[in-house]
Amino acid sequence: MTSSAQAQSVTIKLGTATPGGGFPVYGAAFVDAVKAQDPTLEIEAINTKGSTENVPRLEAGTLDIALVQGEVVHEALSGIGRPPADLKVVTAMYPTAGLFIVRGDSSARRIADLKGKPIAWGAAGSGLVILGRYVMDGLGLDAAKDFQPIYLERAGDGPAMVLDGRAAALWGGGAGWPGFMAIAKQGGRFIAPDAEEIAHILAKHKFLKPITQAAGSFPSQTAAIASVGSWSFVLARPGLDEAVAFRLAKALHRAEASPSPQLAETTARNTLAAVTDPALLHAGVARFYREASLSR
């Protein structure tokens, strides 16, 4: 890559998700972090329906990079229900532990207590909905049949439905996730799979991993919460210029020195650990890691 290519002004389209969810918040922090380190790398954040829209838009080239939930990444790259996607990893974002949140006065204490009740699973295009399906399937449940499923137009609509009683619980995940924050501030309480249920889920869906939501991630959450989930990723469209991916990786690595709360786990080390096959890294990212002595 020439010095002129490094300094060239480039505009990149970043797909996030519906307003009120975690992806737009993360996307804003991502844009700010990259701009602070490489001002000529312009990133335009675009609200989409979420992970399940972002993947085909990357394939079509209408997005350059996009935020994608781990379960959607798994299905897209593995070719589950579709041809395998030719997409590459720019960076790991953060791990998502799937959880329910209920009102503080709810009688529900376990997942079984929520059967047959209205559950806000999230925005229809969100990867969190797919995570919920896998987790419930691991417990021998059908998220669409064993509950009264509510699929949201906007992720931000979920908290009000729980707080006013239209939904018994909201499903979601991710440290600082806005939906959980809104309910936790009103005394909400979390429900997660217990140890035996976690074992059942992981035995059936081996791509899921044990993930613990650290204590203090949400208001009044004094104890760590064990659950299951996966890492979300920033993926790149086919043909994204290697020089651009190199610059993104370099800017993100520099931003690790003083990360925003949203990007605290967006590191080169976590990316290398979370990617199951080094070949999934974008060539520009892989080259930056090698030149920065971050990988072999």
Q: What is the C-alpha to C-alpha distance for residues 148 and 93, in angstroms, rounded to an integer?
A: 31
Look at residue 31 and tell me if it is in a domain. yes
Same-domain status, 211 and 241: no
Q: What is the C-alpha to C-alpha distance for residues 15 and 20, in angstroms, rounded to an integer?
A: 15
Same-domain status, 247 and 146: no
The pLDDT, as a whole number, for residue 8 is 83
Over residues 110-115, mean pLDDT: 98
- pLDDT cut 90: percent of the chain above it: 91
List the Cα angle 10/14/15 in 5-degree steps.
160
The pLDDT, as a whole number, for residue 20 is 87
CA trace torsion 274, 25, 245, 15 (10° rounding): 100
Tokens read off for 136: 């419930």
Return contacts of 137-140, CB within 8 angstroms, 24+ apart: 137/204, 137/205, 138/197, 138/200, 138/201, 138/202, 138/203, 138/204, 138/205, 138/208, 138/228, 139/111, 139/193, 139/197, 139/200, 139/201, 140/200
Over residues 13-27, mean pLDDT: 94
pLDDT tens profile 206-219: 999 999 999 999 99
CB 78 within 8 A of CB 256: no
Same-domain status, 214 and 238: no
Same-domain status, 59 and 156: no
pLDDT band at 155 (very low <50, low <70, confident <90, very high): confident
CB 193 within 8 A of CB 201: yes
pLDDT band at 7 (very low <50, low <70, confident <90, very high): low
Domain holding 261, by residue range, is: 3-95+231-291
pLDDT reading at 4 higher than 60: no
Q: What is the C-alpha to C-alpha distance for residues 101 and 132, in angstroms, rounded to an integer?
A: 13
Over residues 243-266, mean pLDDT: 96
Q: Looking at 14-126, list the stretches that DSSP marks H as alpha helix, in order from N- to C-terminal side.
A: 22-37, 51-60, 70-78
Look at residue 140 and tell me if it is in a domain. yes
CA trace torsion 174, 103, 152, 129 (10° rounding): 40
Look at residue 29 and tell me if it is in a domain. yes
pLDDT reading at 296 higher than 80: no
At residue 118, what are phi and psi to the nearest 5 degrees? -70, 125
Look at residue 211 and tell me if it is in a domain. yes
Structural Rg of the chain based on CA atoms = 19
pLDDT band at 6 (very low <50, low <70, confident <90, very high): low
Over residues 267-281, mean pLDDT: 95
Same-domain status, 46 and 119: no
Number of residues that make up the chain = 296
The pLDDT, as a whole number, for residue 224 is 96
Same-domain status, 112 and 220: yes
The pLDDT, as a whole number, for residue 10 is 94
Same-domain status, 107 and 251: no
Partners of residue 46 on adjacent β-strands? 15
pLDDT tens profile 256-272: 999 999 999 999 999 99
Q: What is the C-alpha to C-alpha distance for residues 120 and 208, in angstroms, rounded to an integer?
A: 22
Look at residue 296 and tell me if it is in a domain. no
- pLDDT cut 70: percent of the chain above it: 97
Same-domain status, 103 and 226: yes
Q: What is the CATH number of the domain that holds 189?
A: 3.40.190.10
CA trace torsion 93, 97, 98, 99 (10° rounding): -130
Choosing from 211, 230, 249, the residue where a domain stops is: 230
pLDDT band at 1 (very low <50, low <70, confident <90, very high): very low
Residue among 226, 172, 230, 229 nearest 195 (CA): 226
Same-domain status, 129 and 77: no
pLDDT band at 3 (very low <50, low <70, confident <90, very high): very low
The pLDDT, as a whole number, for residue 276 is 85
Over residues 28-41, mean pLDDT: 97
Over the chain, what is the mean pLDDT?
Answer: 94
Calculate the alpha carbon distances from 17 to 2, 136, 141 in Å: 35, 23, 27
pLDDT reading at 290 higher than 50: yes
Look at residue 254 and tell me if it is in a domain. yes
Tokens read off for 33: 């972090």
pLDDT tens profile 119-128: 999 988 889 9
Q: Label residues 95-105 b or e (16+ Cβ within 10 Å = b).
A: bbbbbbbbbee
The pLDDT, as a whole number, for residue 36 is 97
Q: How many domains does the chain divide into?
A: 2
pLDDT tens profile 68-110: 999 999 999 999 999 999 999 999 999 999 999 999 999 999 9
Look at residue 170 and tell me if it is in a domain. yes
Same-domain status, 174 and 270: no
Same-domain status, 122 and 67: no
Choosing from 206, 230, 254, the residue where a domain stops is: 230
Choosing from 181, 196, 230, the residue where a domain stops is: 230
pLDDT band at 5 (very low <50, low <70, confident <90, very high): very low
Same-domain status, 79 and 164: no
SS3 content of the chain, % helix, strand, coil (to 5): 40, 20, 40
Q: What is the C-alpha to C-alpha distance for residues 164 and 256, in angstroms, rounded to an integer?
A: 40
Q: What is the C-alpha to C-alpha distance for residues 263 and 241, in angstroms, rounded to an integer?
A: 24
